[in-house]
Copies of this chain bind each other. A is one copy, B any other.
Amino acid sequence: MMTANVNCGHSNGTAEMQKMCISIVPIFNHLEQAEMNEIVKHTHSVSYPRGHTIYHEGDTSDGLYIIHKGRVKIYRLSENGKEQLVRILESGDFTGELSLFNETVHDAYAEAMGKVELCVMSRDDFQKFLLKYPAISLKVLGEFSNRLAKTEKQAARIAMETTDSRLAMYLADLAEERNSDRINLPMTRKDLASHIGTSPETISRKLAEFEDAGWIRQLGQREIEILDMDALLLI
């Protein structure tokens, strides 16, 4: 049984949290203080435990979810029940938008990777704000266009690159994002495998190969140091 802790904005602490929630999200935090306060009134906070499914494929969309604390993984299931990890959301990211515009049902799953705190806004309120503050639309369009570019790139990679390349590119992307040669895999081998279209065993083997070749060093199960980025990307 889920033990969701739903707050509807009556306590000071919670109002404070919702305000924070809005103020950390790129799509809202460019607004005037008064405007943000108005938006805060139309959100409520929710907290879920590790493993809780926030929405299912097929659920009707109930709104926009903004991650305040914790991480959420978005995944899909194929016909035969295999899971593919689509992306991981962190503080300041949002989801639920896809079904806000055209579809009315979700086409993926959202699951709490640890304890998470979310701010939720209803579909109707969100659309109202988009029309009232056109600048928000531009922010959301920017975010969508980023995601679309990333997803198309990912699809192209899975379709055309070898498994070695895909893994190497994933590591390189992560290193660039974190701006460091020491990276921490944000997920299990199984999830990573499903993300780049291979099997957990293959991930283990390839990482071992990379290490033998002197391109990386595995420090822990999750921590990796990249020693020779160029060689890695030449595979």
Binding site for B on A (CB under 8 A): 76, 78-79, 82, 84, 86, 97-98, 100-103, 107-108, 127, 130-131, 134-135, 137-138, 140-142, 144-149, 151-161, 165, 194-197
Contact = CB atoms under 8 A, between A and B. Distances in A.
B107 A145 contact: no
Secondary structure class of chain A's binding surface, majority of residues: helix
Contact of A156 (B84, B135, B148, B165): B84
A231 to B, nearest CB: 14
B138 A127 contact: yes
A138 B78 contact: no
Given A79-B165, A98-B148, A103-B149, 12 more contacts: A76-B152, A79-B161, A82-B160, A84-B160, A100-B145, A101-B146, A107-B152, A140-B141, A141-B141, A151-B151, A159-B194, A159-B197
